[in-house]
A = this chain, B = another copy of it.
């Protein structure tokens, strides 16, 4: 207990960059970073995704969870295309359990987490922060290669060779992935305990114009399953 309190006090002096998409996972991740005592600086992207609603959601979330600052970076990944989230490729629906198969789906955005973490690294270096949080998850996920623990470890070691702070500060950067081994239900239960308002979060890959989720894409399917398993009511409204 004393160690825990000491850690909180120590972290309280520390800034951390939190990648915030406006979805359920990254929001919980921000709440966890805060709970661990970090001063959170949120970073979101307008990257040419279909669901621009994410940006409005991330603004409200950063505000409600007390982020010290919130930057929104414009990067146009639709310049390259190659994904159902950024290109004229249809978002797959109602895939059921095949979401959790080994195949990487068309919603995969080439090198997306590498690009996001690279920006987080730049932001952290300028802030003189050592800690970066990303809400990736290798259990209830779509099989994206850049969500696996071996990827995160590899990025972290690269980051410490790539930067002035990393080189001069002896491997100072740590990429935190508090959700890595949690299932969706446990993430939701953890978030509820930390006071997260999931009504502010947006997970859907292909939302309606009124911002309501489709209820059928992989992200909705995993979310609905998670709330059901957690025995908690999802505050979002799905089509009947």
Q: Are A122 and B111 in contact (CB under 8 A)?
A: yes
Q: Are A74 and B74 in contact (CB under 8 A)?
A: yes
Q: How many copies does the complex hold?
A: 2
- Within 119-139 of A, Cβ neighbours of B (below 8 Å) are at 119, 121-123, 125-126
Query: CA separation between A80 and B123, bound complex, in Å?
Result: 6
Question: Interface majority SS on A: helix, strand, loop or mixed?
Answer: helix
For the complex, count residues of A whose C-beta is within 8 A of B: 43
Q: A74-B74, A74-B76, A162-B146 are in contact. Are A126 and B155 (CB under 8 A)?
A: no
Known pairs A74-B74, A80-B123; list 17 more (Cβ under 8 Å). A82-B126, A104-B168, A108-B164, A109-B122, A110-B126, A111-B118, A111-B122, A114-B122, A114-B158, A145-B161, A145-B163, A145-B164, A145-B166, A150-B161, A151-B158, A154-B158, A155-B162
